[in-house]
């Protein structure tokens, strides 16, 4: 069983990609909607939430954890890995690898990152990019208004376009060739972001990279696969309905967004983690 958490629906972009590339692996999702957004909170508070989320997923039977929240990964990953013996996959490491490989190939080594305030201020992406590619120039842009707009379901509103435009302006001026979507909510705005930053800029989606990272991890860890794989007589993918989606609060806009991300009705189970 794979346990995935985020502050809200953002991590569902990771869960949905995991369903597509590892359809036989059962998932448990926890969205800490009651405490969203994480990105404007202190590192200490985010760490406390992350611990509760992991404890909840482990109690429910998770054998591998994906931190599908850049804000939690950026601020807390080292502490969490030191505290828990379970394998923990995070969105940032995988994303950095893809972005640096991309920018080294016939590109200008200028990487932009958009994320929450907690993610950008942690310097975590910049540090990891510099380790892999010291010659890269890194430009971070905090986008604190995007998560609330997305959680509200304002994916095509004029106001959202204006905010995207405002946040991307400095990155356009820096002539970046690669842009990291450093928040798992942002894939829901890919259409606006790509249009505004320009088609020549390669977008790196942290939700896709985290899901790919899980797949490689499972391919190299057969013992975990046999523990987590659905035990079925035939080899058909397990019924996706068996995946469980827990949230610490439910609202109509959240339900709508969850259904949109997965393209089916998602049964959100309210729980106090």
Examine the residue annotation and report whether 183 is marked as an active-site residue of this protein: yes
Nearest CA-CA partner of 13 in 95, 86, 76: 95
Q: In the stretch 62-91, what mask flags binding to ligand DGL with x, by CB under 6 A?
A: -------xxx--------------------
For the residues of 23-84, what is the DSSP string, one character each? Answer: TTS-EEEEE-GGG---TTS-HHHHHHHHHHHHHHHHHTT-SEEEE--HHHHHHHHHHHHHH-
Nearest CA-CA partner of 14 in 206, 263, 194: 206
* Least CB distance to ligand DGL at residue 148 (A): 9
Nearer CB in complex with ligand DGL: 7/53: 7
Examine the residue annotation and report whether 143 is marked as an active-site residue of this protein: no
User: Is the peptide bond preceding residue 207 cis, with omega within 30 degrees of 0?
Assistant: no
Q: Is 56 in the site for ligand DGL (CB under 6 A)?
A: no
Residue choice 53, 119, 128, 202 for contact with ligand DGL (CB under 6 A) = 119
SS3 state of residue 227:
helix
Q: Count the residues of the shown chain that bind ligand DGL, applying the rule CB under 6 A.
A: 17
Q: In the stretch 24-53, what mask flags binding to ligand DGL with x, by CB under 6 A?
A: ------------xxxx--------------
Chain residues binding ligand DGL by CB under 6 A are 6-8, 10, 36-39, 69-71, 116, 119, 147, 183-185
């Amino acid at each position: 069983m794979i346990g995935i958490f985020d502050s809200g629906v953002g991590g569902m972009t990771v869960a949905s990609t995991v369903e597509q590339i590892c359809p036989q692996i059962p998932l448990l999702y926890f969205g800490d909607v009651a405490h969203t957004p994480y990105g404007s909170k202190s590192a200490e508070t985010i760490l406390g939430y992350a611990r509760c989320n992991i404890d909840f997923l482990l109690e429910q039977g998770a054998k591998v954890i994906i931190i599908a929240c850049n804000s939690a990964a950026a601020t807390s990953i080292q502490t969490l890995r030191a505290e828990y013996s379970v394998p923990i996959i995070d969105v940032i490491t995988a994303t950095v690898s893809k972005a640096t490989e991309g920018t080294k190939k016939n590109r200008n080594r200028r990487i932009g990152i958009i994320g929450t305030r907690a993610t950008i201020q942690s310097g975590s992406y910049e540090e990891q990019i510099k380790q892999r590619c010291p010659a890269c120039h890194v430009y971070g842009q905090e986008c604190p208004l995007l998560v609330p707009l997305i959680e509200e379901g304002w994916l095509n509103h004029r106001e959202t376009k204006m905010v995207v435009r405002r946040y991307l302006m400095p990155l356009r001026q820096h002539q970046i060739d690669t842009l990291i979507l450093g928040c798992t909510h942002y894939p829901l705005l890919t259409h606006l972001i790509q249009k505004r930053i320009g088609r020549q800029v390669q977008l790196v989606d942290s939700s896709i990279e985290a899901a790919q990272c899980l797949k490689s991890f499972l391919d190299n860890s057969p013992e975990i696969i046999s523990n987590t794989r659905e035990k079925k007589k035939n080899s058909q993918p397990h019924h996706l309905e068996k995946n469980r989606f827990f949230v610490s609060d439910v609202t109509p806009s959240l339900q709508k967004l969850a259904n949109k991300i997965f393209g089916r009705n998602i049964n959100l189970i309210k729980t106090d983690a």
